[in-house]
């Protein structure tokens, strides 16, 4: 190896000498600060020869000279050690640093954030549109089987593989949380826990409210009161394509479906979304309250009540707040010349 590196240095010397340079100048350029002004990622495809890699890096603005890069890599004995994959290149990286990154095998790690409360159809759409993942997910998994989380992956990982990881994560979560559930809850199976958690996930984004809403749902079931959750209506009316509907009408409340909790008692027959760990924990460890009603409070949260009389008062307050917000929006539109 040392002999071949020495021979290549001699050849490099001859080349740069003919070009009017020197080995010292070539090395100086090889280790000098590069032209890249902002950190970026570059993808090295399998089997790509060094010369084409050098040209690619030059086109992407990562190195200043493809010939200097190629000479430096060959002289360093690293020409056959560059590994395929996606790499993160820091700003102003020298050609030598770029070489070290490409031969390290430490590929750039991407991440896919899956928010709580998405339907499986929405999750699959996220995965299918994720940059760097290969293949296509063609089968929509059952609702409630995918755990929302941040999933890390490298370029070339498969979309089906990511979906499988989400399914495994949900199974592990249930295996961990279900045995430690509050013994007084009235659920019989982990699936029922996911069904209720999937509704709570759509009702609130506040962790502080999840266990309280779980308490409301449990109290309603015990008292023979329908859950009357609007997200279940949306899921029922749209057949799970929830993006197609923006608001619920009185006609929708009467829509006959095993998912519509305005017409059925108890839980829907299956989840309406993919709940996160916090909502599952809330279902398995609910607050102890007498509340059977809740309504928006105008701040993004909810106000709870144990009686219909108190609930009606809260509803009137919400309508006043909602009316005030509409007036405020109209005033702003007037001020901005929209009305």
- In the predicted model, is pLDDT for residue 133 greater than 60? yes
Q: What angle do CA 307, 309, 315 make, to 5 degrees?
A: 105
Q: Do the beta carbons of residue 209 and residue 295 sit within 8 Å?
A: no
pLDDT in tens, 47-61: 999 999 999 999 999
Alpha-helix runs per DSSP H in 61-206 = 66-75, 95-104, 120-128, 159-177, 190-203
pLDDT reported for residue 286: 98
Q: What is the pLDDT of residue 183?
A: 94
Q: Three-state DSSP class for 160?
A: helix
Kindly give the interhelix angle for 190-203 and 159-177, rounded to the nearest 10 degrees: 110
| Greater model confidence, 215 or 339 | 215
15 versus 329: which is more confidently predicted?
A: 15
- Mean pLDDT calculated for residue range 12-33: 66
Name the band, by pLDDT with cuts 50, 70 and 90, for residue 17: very low
Q: What share of the chain is helix, strand, coil (3-state, %, to 5)?
A: 50, 10, 40
First-to-last alpha carbon distance for the chain, in angstroms, is 78
Q: How far, in Å, CA of 84 to CA of 50, rounded?
A: 11
Fold of 2-104: Dna Ligase; domain 1 (3.30.1490)
Extents of the domains making up the chain = 2-104, 110-174, 182-333
Q: What is the pLDDT of residues 233-288, one digit of tens each?
A: 999 999 999 988 878 999 999 999 999 999 999 999 999 999 999 999 999 999 99
196-225: per-residue pLDDT in tens? 999 999 999 999 999 999 999 999 999 999
Mean pLDDT of 99-104: 96
Distance, in Å, from the CA atom of 14 to the CA atom of 31, rounded to the nearest integer, reads 20
């Amino acid at each position: 190896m040392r002999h071949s590196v020495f021979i290549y240095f001699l050849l490099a010397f001859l080349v740069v000498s003919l070009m009017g340079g020197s080995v010292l100048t070539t090395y100086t350029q090889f280790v000098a600060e590069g032209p890249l002004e902002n950190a970026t990622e570059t993808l090295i495809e399998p089997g790509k020869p060094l010369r084409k890699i050098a040209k690619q890096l030059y086109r992407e603005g990562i190195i200043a000279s493809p010939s200097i890069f190629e000479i430096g890599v060959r002289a360093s004995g690293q020409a056959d050690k560059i590994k395929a994959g996606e790499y993160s290149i820091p700003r102003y990286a020298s050609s030598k640093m770029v070489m070290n990154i490409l031969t390290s095998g430490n590929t750039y790690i991407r991440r896919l954030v899956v928010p709580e409360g998405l339907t499986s159809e929405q999750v699959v759409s996220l995965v299918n549109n994720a940059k760097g993942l290969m293949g296509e997910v063609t089968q929509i998994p059952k609702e409630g089987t995918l755990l929302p989380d941040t999933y890390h992956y490298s370029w070339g990982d498969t979309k089906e593989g990511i979906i499988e990881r989400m399914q495994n994560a949900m199974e592990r979560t249930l295996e961990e949380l279900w045995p430690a559930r509050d013994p007084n809850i009235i659920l019989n199976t982990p699936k029922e826990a996911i069904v209720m958690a999937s509704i709570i996930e759509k009702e609130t984004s506040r962790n502080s409210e999840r266990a309280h809403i779980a308490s409301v749902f449990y109290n309603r079931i015990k008292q023979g009161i329908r859950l009357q959750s609007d997200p279940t209506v949306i899921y029922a009316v749209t057949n799970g394509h929830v993006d197609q509907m923006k608001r619920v009408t009185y006609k929708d409340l009467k829509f006959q479906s095993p998912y519509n909790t305005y017409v059925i008692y108890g839980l829907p027959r299956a989840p309406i979304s993919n709940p996160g760990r916090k909502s599952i924990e809330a279902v398995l460890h609910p607050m102890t309250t007498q509340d059977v009603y809740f309504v928006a409070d105008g701040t993004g949260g909810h106000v709870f009540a144990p009686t219909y009389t108190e609930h009606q008062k809260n509803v009137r307050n919400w309508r006043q707040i909602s009316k005030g917000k509409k007036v405020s929006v109209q005033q702003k539109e007037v001020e901005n010349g929209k009305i």
